[in-house]
Structure 1
């Protein structure tokens, strides 16, 4: 192990954390983009197919073009779905797990608490980072060619600054806003699915009363396909589950800080930082495990 001074040791680990964070973010975007593409292609194929059927003989050329478009969209669905496979989701969550583990150790190191309170804190930090990176060695190729982004170390010098920057900073800057964002996205999916379901019911009622002289029956299938695509996309993204997880973590961290600040507990520095990192880790592990579990169930 190289004998880095404190600044070089923590800077090295912080740079590696930045690289893994970049790769994890890129992998997440790829998965989310693929899920959106699958949903869009599925709905597009249903719409194009219905239009092709309705155009019929009077617009045979346009109908054929739409039929070809529908077929092409359906053929592209499994191609796009490759990026939403269980393996892709697992890779993304493992990349994020490495990033978060390195980030946690950097904050512990800067706060000066266990296991980084001794004279060998640099060696301990680098050994722990080596262990984390070795465990994810099969993903290391994904980080090749990714340059670390220039950024300062976290503004942590001791436990009070750790509480302000790491704990309260995470609550105000990440967990609370993300809980609100996940809630909004979940609500939009629910409203969109409800709107399509209501439209489908109105179509069915119209066909039942007036008959199918307008060719509305074909659009019932489109409505059903759209609803399924919306609900499936929302379920895959786990918006509601993530909202609950982020809100719960924000509440737990806030209560932890209040307990310490009011002198009613968690006065030991090592124990306080360990508990804060445990709460953050449980949140990360919880939504990542749920994402893999739901993704695997959807593909069975």
Structure 2
């Protein structure tokens, strides 16, 4: 019973149209599902991924027009990485971001990989990480987008960084409960702080890492636009999902129990520093209600909301892109 790696990261936007433009036109990712927040159906839920909506490639956004800004700090998913094939890809992206006036850093090493940090128009902290053919979780399939050569396209989720006041309790949950293993450390880009710890699961590699940063000097994170709501990790199938339900329940951590999202099964809980974790199945996938060829072109609703389609659509603002 082992988690395979990252499944998705879910964040917040106040401007769905600009968010769509940024992730599809600028970053060249595919909109693989246009749905609603199942806990608040007046809000869109947008999923961006690879060409075939592979598990482990999705960045998702809840749309809340008018939402205030995020305030960085501890108890947060402070950065989300996206995988690209090579360091040459990072140089391509550095030039592309420059040409589009997008704020970014320099190419530096994190956990032994070359990386390039940047942010979107709402302050989402993103990092491009070069695979360079390393062993581990396989990348996704690149999506064809104008101006982005396939050899430099984004091919999935890389490491997520968790920033906490005290790393020990989070590390214990990762290793003793979730089956991660500590595989290294690297210096914090913030300077004179403890090294960032690297934890891996499954086959390891960029698509299966959590980077844990202790920053007791920071205030507590406040979620708003550009901020990350939760990170989800991959369970291969529903048989193992049932075992994880029992395991998390036995741990004593408060949790959601079984949650059917239709496209996957989910389980939510907060680790001791308050960051929301989700465990999600790879199955059945985003193509259960629309073919791969036309993913994201219509409003996708889970089967248990389909009978409410007319009412839900009447309360959603039209998206113009």
| TM-score with structure 2 setting the length | 0.20
User: Based on CA coordinates, which of the two structures has the bigger radius of gyration?
Assistant: 1
As a proportion of its length, which structure holds more strand? 2
